[in-house]
Amino acid sequence: VSSPVRAIINVDVEGPVINRHVYGHFAEHLGRCIYGGFYVGPDSDIPNEGGIRLDVVDALRALKIPNLRWPGGCFADEYHWMDGIGPKEDRPAMVNTHWGNVEENNHFGTHEFMALCEMLGAEAYVNGNVGSGTVREMADWVEYLTRDGDSPMVRLRKQNGRDKPWTVKFWGIGNEAWGCGGNMSAQHYAEEARRYATYCRDHGDNTLYRIAAGANSGDYVWTETLMKALNELGGCGRDPRGIYQAISVHYYTIPGTWADKGNATEFDEDDYYTTMVRAAHTDELLRRHSTVMDNYDPGKKVGLVLDEWGTWWNVEPGTNPGFLYQQNTMRDALVASLHFDIFHRHADRLVMANIAQTVNVLQAMILTDPDTGALVLTPTYHVFEMNAGHQDAASLRVDTLGDLPAREVGGDQLETVSVSASRKDGQVLISLSNLDAADATEVDVDLRGSSVGTVRARILTAETLAAHNTSDSPENVTPCDYSDVQVTETGVRVPMPAHSFVTVSVGVD
Ligand code: AHR
């Protein structure tokens, strides 16, 4: 057991609100995320509504998913939305060239996606096509989705059975324009983003929040170019935010190389610690992108959106390499909990984050068996569920006394205890991760500025870091109530087993 950590939280000093959208999700037409994941078709034996799997929706409702990004990713820049509306038998098929070279029948399109969002209680985040689309195609999609009254696109929507417009706030102007979204230079994309965004109109009271496709991890020049492009429009009293309101960035946790990323379930301690160092790097990335943005926008009006994050392993043996299907262990859970602590600390600039991806792809919440249809909740799912109380809560700063326990990992220092906290509705929610693979520790939390009311604690851990859930053992890694947390004179004392994640909810005045 390493020596106890002392953490201090002033519960009456509230920081910026943690935007609920940092708990956002991402569903791409990739592998079995949509088809065979969310969508099984209306004729399936699996209980569904309009083809959408009801047990998947039910499980995800517990996470209070705030928004769902769709249809890609790379797929977004080859998706032509008009192929995905109208009677299913008339919808043209296409080849999904990015993901497995499989045929896409377009049976899951705009109406199905909006129905899914309604069932989940999530806001839609639609990612438009810049790479192979046109400005007109994107403008028409916005009109189709959000305009009321009478217009060519409204008539088309009504013909397809939907009278009233939907509300769609989040709108992506292309995806990874530096790569699969068109291999553009930053300058070229910045001009395209301004042009496309100009014609993505606010119809009626539907106000779009346009998100420009951002940098590949540490490409700060990309962010700077997009900020400059916004600033240039700021003259003559014009509000530069009128063009795009946010800039994204993508960063994946990959301990190996792109050619050999590492195995999801077979890894040693070195692999584990390298993973955690790479995950912790998200903090530096967000800080440095924010610093670049601060230069142009000190008032922090332009949002930063991490709309793809998570672990990316080699695919499970025997599965289609283009389907990005991977298992999910206690290690993935700790990658997620560490990310959330980082997100909470960047609440002043980070307005949204979307894990890649919700079902059957990369760091998923849910895995479904292609043969039996059985559904499994992953360890990552449980972190999202345990942390849901942070959504829209005021962040609370956590100060620690002395040095945190740390491990030296290939020249980097990894602090092995991570804590974040927030306050909402008379509750303080504290999230604590012990990232040490082998050593237990203890965190003494001083809660200043309030008396300590009812305490409820939960823990997620497992015998090994590689523990995971399967349809035969769906509860290998599952949270349970944690009675070892003690109330002290000044707060709570939280024993932390090796590789564990704990949430403590405390009633405050
Ligand atoms: O999430 C998988 C892929 O990763 C997305 O399609 C793309 O945007 C990124 O490279």
d(CA 424, CA 429): 8
d(CA 42, CA 54): 11
CB 390 within 8 A of CB 422: yes
For ligand 1, mutation pick of 173, 176, 252, 358 (most atoms within 8 Å of CB): 176
Q: How far is the CA of 105 from the centre of ligand 1 (A)?
A: 21
User: How high is the pLDDT of residue 388?
Assistant: 98
Give the up-direction half-sphere exposure of residue 45: CA atoms within 13 A in the CB hemisphere.
4
For ligand 1, mutation pick of 28, 125, 251, 305 (most atoms within 8 Å of CB): 28
Q: How far is the CA of 468 from the centre of ligand 1 (A)?
A: 24
List Cβ neighbours of 496 (8 Å cut-off, separation of 6 or more). Answer: 417, 432, 434, 440, 441, 442, 443, 502
- Say which residue the tokens 């479904």 belong to: 368
User: How high is the pLDDT of residue 402?
Assistant: 84
**Residue 370 backbone class (left: φ over 0; alpha: ψ -120 to 50; beta: rest):** alpha
**Residue 343 backbone class (left: φ over 0; alpha: ψ -120 to 50; beta: rest):** alpha
Q: DSSP class of residue 3?
A: P
Task: Return the ligand 1 atom nearest residue 26 CA.
Answer: 1
Q: How far is the CA of 72 from the centre of ligand 1 (A)?
A: 7
Q: How far is the CA of 208 from the centre of ligand 1 (A)?
A: 23
Task: Return the ligand 1 atom nearest residue 75 CA.
Answer: 6
Task: Return the ligand 1 atom nearest residue 357 CA.
Answer: 1
Q: Which tokens is 34 given?
A: 């949509």
ipTM above 0.95, yes or no: yes
Give how far Cα 98 sits from Cα of 146, 356, 496, Å. Answer: 29, 16, 43
CB 323 within 8 A of CB 367: no
Q: How far is the CA of 74 from the centre of ligand 1 (A)?
A: 6
Q: DSSP class of residue 284?
A: H
Q: How far is the CA of 11 from the centre of ligand 1 (A)?
A: 39
Q: How far is the CA of 363 from the centre of ligand 1 (A)?
A: 12
Give how far Cα 130 sits from Cα of 136, 144, 190, 225, Å. Answer: 11, 18, 12, 18
User: How high is the pLDDT of residue 426?
Assistant: 96
pLDDT in tens, 120-165: 999 999 999 999 999 999 999 999 999 999 999 999 999 999 999 9
Task: Return the ligand 1 atom nearest residue 74 CA.
Answer: 6
d(CA 53, CA 367): 13
Quickly count: other Cβ atoms within 10 Å of residue 90's Cβ.
9
Where do the DSSP E strands lie in 71-157?
94-96, 102-104, 123-128
Mean per-residue pLDDT pooled into runs of 10, the chain (509 residues): 87 98 98 98 97 98 98 98 98 97 97 98 98 98 98 98 98 98 98 96 96 97 96 63 88 96 97 98 98 94 97 97 98 98 98 98 97 96 98 98 92 96 98 97 96 96 98 97 96 98 97
d(CA 111, CA 88): 11
Q: Whose CA is nearest to atom 1 of ligand 1?
A: 356
Q: Please state the domain extents for the chain.
A: 5-12+395-507, 19-391
Q: How far is the CA of 257 from the centre of ligand 1 (A)?
A: 16
Quickly count: other Cβ atoms within 10 Å of residue 281's Cβ.
16
Task: Return the ligand 1 atom nearest residue 72 CA.
Answer: 6
**Do 5-12+395-507 and 19-391 agree at the fold level?**
no
Domain 5-12+395-507: which CATH number of 2.60.40.1180, 2.60.40.420, 3.60.10.10, 3.40.720.10: 2.60.40.1180
Task: Return the ligand 1 atom nearest residue 76 CA.
Answer: 6
Q: In DSSP terms, which residues pair with 401 in a beta bridge?
A: 6
Q: Whose CA is nearest to atom 2 of ligand 1?
A: 73
Give how far Cα 38 sits from Cα of 56, 99, 173, Å. Answer: 7, 17, 24
Q: Which residues are catalytic?
A: 176, 308
Element housing 303 (H / E): strand 303-311
d(CA 113, CA 71): 9
- Positive or negative: CA dihedral 267, 273, 274, 275: positive
Element housing 220 (H / E): helix 220-231
User: How high is the pLDDT of residue 441?
Assistant: 96
Pocket of ligand 1 (CB under 6 A): 28, 72-74, 175-176, 308, 356-357, 362
Q: Whose CA is nearest to atom 9 of ligand 1?
A: 73
What are the contacts of 362-365 at 24+ separation with CB within 8 A? 362/252, 362/310, 362/311, 362/312, 362/324, 362/326, 363/310, 363/311, 363/312, 363/326, 363/328, 363/332, 363/335, 363/336, 364/33, 364/326, 364/328, 365/25, 365/59, 365/60, 365/63
Nearest to 26 by CA among 221, 211, 259: 211
For ligand 1, mutation pick of 180, 252, 254 (most atoms within 8 Å of CB): 180
Superfamily name with CATH number, domain 19-391: Glycosidases (3.20.20.80)
Paired sense of beta strands 394-401 and 5-17, if any: antiparallel
Q: Whose CA is nearest to atom 6 of ligand 1?
A: 73
Q: Whose CA is nearest to atom 4 of ligand 1?
A: 73
What's the N-to-C CA distance of the chain in angstroms?
34
